[in-house]
Amino acid sequence: MEPFLAGYGVVESEAFVHSERWMVAELQLRTMRFLFDYCELDTALWDIVLGRAETTVRKAAYGELKRIRLLMQGLAEFRQ
């Protein structure tokens, strides 16, 4: 599998893949903070935004995001 971040000089080690999930969660929280500080959303839209944020953070925390799963699979295949 072609390393996704190879063009940036980033080695996609197992440690990087594990830390990437927390980077995704942090970015989601920063996005929520931006929306809270600078946007006026009605209640129904906030419900949608919060639901999607919760799903994204949960998937990131459990390694269920597609990119993270693919990277873990690629690392496993590389070791074989």
As a whole number of angstroms, the distance between CA 10 and CA 68 comes to: 15
Tell me if 2 is assigned to some domain: no
Provide the H-helix boundaries in the chain: 14-38, 43-61, 66-79
Segment of 3-12, 32-41, 66-75 carrying the highest mean pLDDT: 32-41
10: confidence class by pLDDT, cuts 50, 70, 90 = low
Tell me the residue range of the domain where 29 lies.
Answer: 12-79
Tell me if 51 is assigned to some domain: yes
Tell me if 66 is assigned to some domain: yes
Number of domains in the chain: 1
Q: What is the pTM (predicted TM-score) of this model?
A: 0.64
35: tokens are 């929306």
Tell me if 69 is assigned to some domain: yes
* Residue 1 clears pLDDT 50, i.e. is over it: no
What would the pLDDT profile of 15-69 be if each residue is shown by its tens digit?
Answer: 776 787 888 888 899 999 999 999 999 999 999 999 999 998 888 888 777 766 6
Per DSSP, 19 falls in state H
Tell me if 1 is assigned to some domain: no
* Residue 2 clears pLDDT 70, i.e. is over it: no
Tell me if 4 is assigned to some domain: no
